[in-house]
Chains A and B, each alone.
Chain A
């Protein structure tokens, strides 16, 4: 099954927008998600990204994978929030709210280490970080699912990005799904040999160890294969290929790109000058 990879479809994002426009939309979502910490703003961007994914008809299992990532991330973001974020960090939210204790983990008078507690501030920061990561992944989903590799690299070349940079981006863009696919096949082969991770954490690590070995060797092999395949097709780093199709930048592309850039620029100004969307 395709994951993190382009799939030809008949949707607005697939057929009506140039790869560059989609890149600008994605970049806008990523930047705004990076700038904001206020959950109201982040939720708005999350909803916009979700609507885009629905319009692009992203398969259901992509959402399933996203949910798995979110579930796996939640303890990490909360723990990070707990240890890294102190009440002084918050500039906008009232100090009495951010320092209000939700759960006391270690009593205040605990010898040597002192106390530790999960505050509303920690919780808020942890949830916001998770929403940021999930929204960023959604932006990447939107781009990878709707944009073919050749459209993307030719669009980048058209706007003057050096072909060496284009080559590196293209390789990464292609390499990840190939590796995922390879690992899916290898995992299927392993499941057919009775392989399962189990629930015991030590056993899980033990059972997963062959995967890391094969992941390492297949990554190396894949890089070599990809380089060989490109060389056989006459690809030379530093040389621009001719576009394989006419790349049109329509009025719709100009409109969407300009609107995205203006919104991003305006929001960035508000964030940095007026602390909008900050906590």
Chain B
């Protein structure tokens, strides 16, 4: 048996419109390796994976040139069904991968099609559900699951088939931090136990996880392989930094090295970094550090007031998504709602905009002084609005211009005012060049920006964005957050639902942690992230730089690489 499981020889793919998306790729991947394919959205790394499992060009059309061989099979000569016994792919949109109505049946579908005996199917389902923390969900309707749970279900569906190669497109994007850790340990266990090969794509937002997990990294840009090697070597390379952000710890030390404060080999994890920093800080005077927040919000009268909000979904067994949530949000805040998958974040957001009604009669939900439960939605949307997790769910017109104009037209603005607002939004969101394009063909980043722009054009005071960075690469994520920050600076109250703790630390002024439908913690990011033990209950882990600062007892306001770098420079200058 050859040790090489995947071989690509001069592989190119030209899409039906004639654009070359994959450009002359040649590579070999050994059995039992965990390989991360990193790159921006336009690197087309997902396309490479879909060529390997036969989805492309069979479902997409286009021309495939060169050869791709998986476990001795030339993908051109085999159907997706035949290849699925060897190579399984977890797609980026988990909803698209759910076929059956119950969790058990969905996970069992693959093994059933492999004609395994019923007893073996049961064993495999049990193993896959256990591995993805879905034990006990067997009888749940697949559509009653949260986004993160659906992603775990999609992974479980593949695990149960025990393929030789498991491809995962952005598998960490919707998982809570502990869910990511768990997936890392599952992948490592499967690699060890079954010599399974993993190909994992990421846009760079989960670089720390990739750093811990991957045996090697393939860096892609515009359909080509730009670099390949062990994660530490790749993340150190200047070429890589043009495409992705290195892990926080490495980024810090690269900055320190550039400013001549550090001249050794770059630490790759918190433990190594902690060791060096302890020596560096030893016997030095430690100054205080106060982060300068750009905007002070008004703390007198809340713009959102929620009291004893409960919601139970009528499934079997009934799901208590919210169990008496009470909270206040003030005008001008930039709030992050975080928590584990299925913790009630999206359910809470949907109550705030009136898409769901509380299931208890004594609940209070007030937005901008209006009783949400009694206010008609077309009145409410002028004050608060919501951007869905998947931008495709809210895009329905044929041009970008019409998409942004839809809301203002619906609330009865004059055509002159509508045009004025559309032009303004196109400029603010950097969509001027795409104004006549069909929104469905925009890049993921532009689609997210359009989804936000199409809601902001109605000029609400409060905007809730569910997973603003889901499916985006690092650059697109920051571009999106910067736009939201800009909106916040002009007085809008912004609420984001996210699993990306680095973004929470960098952009948000307050954090609300939801666990099992209740508020576990709330406060400024530095207050919340200093309570690591409590956060663990909610499957949350602070970003590495915050963990490092907490371990070293450094000021709590250190929330980002820049904060830490500035602080260490100050320490160095104070000590001469």
Residue B203 is within 8 A (CB to CB) of chain A in the complex: no
Q: Number of residue pairs across A and B with beta carbons under 8 Å?
A: 172
Give CA–CA (A193, B408) in the complex, Å. Answer: 8
B95–chain A nearest beta-carbon distance, Å: 8
Give CA–CA (A244, B114) in the complex, Å. Answer: 11
Give CA–CA (A231, B111) in the complex, Å. Answer: 13
Residue of B nearest to A243 (CB): B118
On whether A193 and B406 interact (CB within 8 A), knowing A226-B99, A244-B105, A244-B108, the answer reads: yes
On whether A232 and B97 interact (CB within 8 A), knowing A191-B377, A224-B59, A244-B105, the answer reads: yes
B438–chain A nearest beta-carbon distance, Å: 10
On whether A5 and B100 interact (CB within 8 A), knowing A192-B381, A234-B161, A243-B118, the answer reads: no
Residue B96 is within 8 A (CB to CB) of chain A in the complex: yes
On whether A234 and B110 interact (CB within 8 A), knowing A150-B105, A189-B388, A246-B118, the answer reads: yes
Chain B residues lying within 8 Å of A229, measured Cβ to Cβ, are 91, 96-99
Residue-wise, chain B 464-506 has the 8 Å CB interface mask toward A (1 for contact) of 0000000000000000000000000000000000000000000
Residue A34 is within 8 A (CB to CB) of chain B in the complex: no
Give CA–CA (A232, B113) in the complex, Å. Answer: 10
Q: Which of B139-188 contact A (CB under 8 A)?
A: 139-141, 143-144, 157, 161
Residue A214 is within 8 A (CB to CB) of chain B in the complex: yes
Q: Which of A122-156 contact B (CB under 8 A)?
A: 148-151
On whether A7 and B113 interact (CB within 8 A), knowing A194-B410, A226-B99, A233-B99, the answer reads: no
Q: Is the CB of A193 within 8 A of B458?
A: yes
Q: Which of B83-111 contact A (CB under 8 A)?
A: 84-85, 88-89, 91, 96-102, 104-105, 108-111
Q: Which of B88, B316, B382, B396 contacts A232 (CB 8 A)?
A: B88
Residue A181 is within 8 A (CB to CB) of chain B in the complex: yes
Q: Is the CB of A7 within 8 A of B100?
A: no
Chain A residues lying within 8 Å of B161, measured Cβ to Cβ, are 233-234
Give CA–CA (A191, B406) in the complex, Å. Answer: 11
A154–chain B nearest beta-carbon distance, Å: 8
Chain B residues lying within 8 Å of A255, measured Cβ to Cβ, are none
Residue B334 is within 8 A (CB to CB) of chain A in the complex: no
Residue B117 is within 8 A (CB to CB) of chain A in the complex: yes
On whether A228 and B59 interact (CB within 8 A), knowing A192-B455, A246-B118, the answer reads: yes
Chain A residues lying within 8 Å of B115, measured Cβ to Cβ, are 239, 241-242
Chain B residues lying within 8 Å of A239, measured Cβ to Cβ, are 113, 115
Residue B116 is within 8 A (CB to CB) of chain A in the complex: yes
Give CA–CA (A9, B80) in the complex, Å. Answer: 35
Give CA–CA (A2, B314) in the complex, Å. Answer: 9
Q: Is the CB of B316 within 8 A of A210?
A: no
Q: Is the CB of B102 within 8 A of A235?
A: no
On whether A193 and B112 interact (CB within 8 A), knowing A149-B101, A242-B117, the answer reads: no
Give CA–CA (A103, B108) in the complex, Å. Answer: 60
Residue B454 is within 8 A (CB to CB) of chain A in the complex: yes
Q: Is the CB of A2 within 8 A of B100?
A: no
Chain A residues lying within 8 Å of B288, measured Cβ to Cβ, are none
Give CA–CA (A10, B157) in the complex, Å. Answer: 25
A133–chain B nearest beta-carbon distance, Å: 26
Chain A residues lying within 8 Å of B458, measured Cβ to Cβ, are 193-194
Residue B397 is within 8 A (CB to CB) of chain A in the complex: yes
Residue of B nearest to A189 (CB): B394
Residue-wise, chain A 65-82 has the 8 Å CB interface mask toward B (1 for contact) of 000000000000000000
Q: Is the CB of A190 within 8 A of B118?
A: no
Q: Which of B111, B141, B382 contacts A8 (CB 8 A)?
A: B141
Residue A195 is within 8 A (CB to CB) of chain B in the complex: yes
B350–chain A nearest beta-carbon distance, Å: 8
Chain B residues at the A interface, C-beta cutoff of 8 Å: 53, 55, 59, 79-81, 84-85, 88-89, 91, 96-102, 104-105, 108-118, 121-122, 125, 139-141, 143-144, 157, 161, 314-316, 353, 355, 377-378, 381-382, 385-386, 388, 393-394, 396-398, 406-407, 410-411, 440, 454-455, 458
Chain A residues at the B interface, C-beta cutoff of 8 Å: 2, 5-10, 59, 148-151, 174, 181-182, 185-186, 188-196, 210-211, 213-214, 217, 224-236, 239, 241-246
Q: Write 12 A-B pairs (CB below 8 A) sorted by A numbering.
A: A5-B141, A6-B102, A8-B139, A8-B316, A148-B101, A150-B101, A211-B396, A227-B59, A229-B96, A232-B89, A232-B97, A234-B81
